[in-house]
Structure 1
């Protein structure tokens, strides 16, 4: 950490989420002599910087870290804290996030009423569930021929495992019952299986959740040429004669403005704020902000009626994911265009049952994320008339579910009822569709493409069309309609871009 802003570096990274951290890590490994400055608008809320808040044992300190992540207004009370708040459809964000103040839905459109962001070192990776499934079938990017190798590298950087919850109560039973009803006709790789998670278990048995700290790794932290600047708002990317030459950045502690020169700039804020910064900088490719892709989410809960407490159980389920959790994955297929994330109650980020006590692991929450029918009309717009809490052009959402989207939703509702009945006794008369934006998996707004035809923002290595030395990173780069959690894919694409930068340096 340093507050002495440099006049010039080789590479500037904007945003400290997993994609920005991946650029820092790969460059530290492959171009160790390159001077790198990373600017993050939010504060450092964990030690080490970028760590997951779940790793904070003290609940008061953890709540404070979440509050400090909630944007320029800081500490909104409008967070989800009960099943009732979620199911009533109230416009609330999850702890550690903040909502768009307005502009989340245009008249006559569906919008994204609970679209949310985080501002802190580590970005959303300080608050996420850690699910890292691989894309399947049409989710995959067919013009990235080394995608599997890149996904493997993303697994390494994120510290992905599948055995952290081995032996969790009833998890084998849940997978067995799901497989019996869901696996027919699926290829082996697309059958019910353990969810790949960015989490590992220490020798003492404690769970450690990956945030950007794991992606940074010792390689970045020990790199004397890398510096992380928190509470630093990048207000513009500077472009001269078709090439980026640096950024303008405001120190949010002192209010001082700085200009930092660089050979390469990587903008990896998030799928809402990366196009915001490009637009504010006058960098406006035709596809900027377009093809906005959220994943509509259907949830349901079921109880394993024949469950009995297993030896050693006795404590009630812990809040959040704990040693009694099990997380199961039902991969996306084109025939069933949704991705299943099945979490025993103590693993669910959204409470699904209110009765207590329950046998640990016996309440199972099922969630299906639906792939979006991609449309150029679904987009983020900006104008100088509306400013956000940071003083930048505020995002205005234009977003509508198509007839096809509603058909997929109906298919998902029927499927989740079938799956819930296979596992146990469903809780409630019908599944619940979360408010749009609840997935936090926004994509497509700086999408990758093969040619500069107005339908993409960057090339297959994430360099912005028409602006040399400017790269974009994060979920917004993903060009396909996905249902699976996007972080692993966005880190894989970041690895590809970072390797290209390392070669150029």
Structure 2
């Protein structure tokens, strides 16, 4: 089939994950006459575009969607979204993702062997766990004006709910035990609580998970000036007169190259591919690709002690066939306890049990502790202009080391996760497991935000690239702080500020007269 690409729009967005979708949504709300084209290198998985794969009930269809998300060389894999939760394999492929084929570790360095990406409409937002905690203490980029309101707006776009699993088996008991052990000395907003999740509880009791479809919302889907083009690779941002002027994009279906003029370009790929595209476009500020940071992750599992398993089955939500976890609790980061804890009550053990040992839902508890990285400018991405990746862009080489402070933080996290486990029950394994660097999928810092243009940041507090008017960046890579909590809410909040800045410019100067060619978000395929 053939399709048309627009030749001129007000705004081009590169990438359809939650942050790219947030730009589309805010612009549709605040600058409804603006023409917007969003290009996504991966395919459309489902209707509505950006749907979370957990909401696909048919396992075969869900597995096919996950394979389609695996970039240039998809492979068969298990469709269980909890696969590998406690797998020590440092090159574990999570469902719906694909690893860097090489360049993930340099000689003598730790590297990021678990670094992974997704290529599909919705990006990683079609595969994520939906955890949306607010950052606290040193995690917060406090130079960002109105951060609290931006976080609230991010929660609106993502559909965050902290109470969807309130009646999960034993959830109250889990939080009471954790709170008794961990809450003393914590501020009220940093005590053990239900995890804020991007989920919705439907009238029939089903839980549905937010993907980019929820962020786009009906406002974007019904916007006749918005066009979503899947399987379209942006190969470079066009810079003219010192400012962003559009993009060059290759139709992945027929290989034809197009140039699309735009007044504003938003690169919202991911923390690896956003700086890669800027590099390929000749936009190379000193901080580009630097300050790369991941979250060292430790996991452990316990069986709840002293519970009536039958009572839990009778009073629970009965969602065991819909989602892998039946309850999620949150141990917030504090500056005194600089870890983020995600506590999931599982319906199956992440470590092997005896063949006749079938735990009741909610009685197996998986604990994941995330550490804040000791941020270093030397942890960085290198782009090889003489070698190309599977998409024909400069190959990525990762330089990454864990410092002495990182190793001390990981050791302290072992003590903290054991204390939490002791409060809950009996360990299922002897020791907590350190996951491979990159396994968190929470890479940050590579196009980081700053308050001033001093060479240590890529963009200003509105996410506009320093010295390149009209060029904005988005995604977890924009986060400038060492956060331990799940980063999506924070990155979406920062995207809201950038989208508002573009909307204000468009409404003050007027939008383009032409309408983007192509079909609407709800019908493009």
Q: Is 1:177 aligned with 2:214?
A: no
Query: Match of 2:56?
Result: 56
Aligned-partner Cα distance in 2 for 1:209–1:447: 28
Superposed displacement of residue 81, structure 1: 8.6
Rounded to whole Å, the distance in 1 between the matches of 2:241 and 2:256 is 27
CA deviation after TM superposition for structure 1 residue 317, in Å: 8.2
> Shift in Å at residue 346 of structure 1?
3.2
2: CA distance between counterparts of 1:490 and 1:291?
16
Please name the residue that 1:394 is paired with. 395
How far apart are 1:306 and its partner, in Å? 2.0
Instruction: Report the secondary structure of 2:259's partner residue.
Output: strand
Give the drift of 1:93: 1.2
> CA separation of 1:252/1:244 partners in 2, compared to 1, >3 Å: closer, same or farther?
same
State whether structure 2 residue 268 is matched by structure 1 residue 268.
yes
1:91-106 counterparts in 2 under 5 A?
91-106=91-106
Shift of 1:129: 0.3
1:80 to partner: Cα distance? 8.5
CA distance in 1, matches of 2:318, 2:172: 20
| Structure 2 CA distance for partners of 1:500 and 1:360, relative to 1, 3 Å | same
Query: Which position in structure 2 is the counterpart of 1:24?
Result: 24
Shift of 1:427: 1.1
Deviates most, 219-228 or 86-95: 86-95
Contact 2:333 2:340 in 1 (8 A): yes
1:69 and 2:69 are equivalent in the alignment: yes
Report the equivalent of 1:147: 147
SS at match of 1:312: helix
Give the corresponding residue for 2:294: 294
2:16–2:123 contact (8 Å) kept in structure 1: yes
Please tell me whether the aligned partners of residues 70 and 96 of structure 2 are also in contact (alpha carbons under 8 angstroms).
yes
Query: CA offset at residue 75 of structure 1?
Result: 2.5
Report the secondary structure of 2:260's partner residue.
Answer: strand
1:399-434 deviations in Å (ceiling 9; x for gaps): 000000000000000111111011011111110000
Q: Within 5 A, what are the aligned runs for 1:247-396?
A: 247-307=247-307, 308-310=309-311, 312=314, 318=320, 321=323, 325-346=326-347, 351-355=350-354, 356-396=357-397
In the alignment, the residues of structure 1 paired with residue 383 and residue 214 of structure 2 have an alpha-carbon distance, to the nearest angstrom, of: 34
> Which whole-Å deviations, capped at 9, do the CAs of 1:33-84 have from their partners, x for residues lacking one?
0000000000001211101000000000000000000011122549999978
TM-score by length of 2: 0.92
Give distance in 2, aligned partners of 1:407 and 1:340: 17
Partner of 2:208: 208
Q: CA deviation at 1:137?
A: 0.2
Preserved contact between residue 442 and residue 475 of structure 1 (Cα < 8 Å): yes
Q: CA deviation at 1:89?
A: 2.3
User: Equivalents in 2 of 1:32, 1:341: separation in Å?
Assistant: 39
Larger mean Cα displacement after TM superposition, 309-318 or 280-289: 309-318
Q: Distance in 2 between matches of 1:112 and 1:37?
A: 33
Q: Structure 1 pair 7/316, CA: closer, same or farther in 2 (3 Å)?
A: closer
Q: Retained in 1: the 8 A contact 2:287–2:458? A: yes
Question: Is the alpha carbon distance of 1:347 and 1:119 closer, same or farther for their aligned partners in structure 2, counting shifts above 3 Å?
Answer: farther
Alpha-carbon separation, structure 2, partners of 1:34 and 1:400: 44
Q: Deviations over 1:83-131 (max 9, x none)?
A: 7895342412101000000000010000000100000000001000000
**Equivalent pair of 1:16/1:121 in contact (CA under 8 Å):** yes
Mind listing any 5+ residue stretches in structure 1 that lack a counterpart?
none
C-alpha distance 173-465 of structure 1, shift in aligned 2 (>3 A): same
Q: Give the SS at the match of 1:37.
A: strand
When residues 81 and 5 of structure 1 are mapped into structure 2, their CA distance, relative to the original with a 3 A threshold, is closer
Q: Which residue matches 2:515?
A: none
SS in 1 for 2:314: coil
- Which 10-residue stretch deviates more, 427-436 or 310-319? 310-319
Which residue of structure 2 lines up, in the alignment, with residue 503 of structure 1? 504
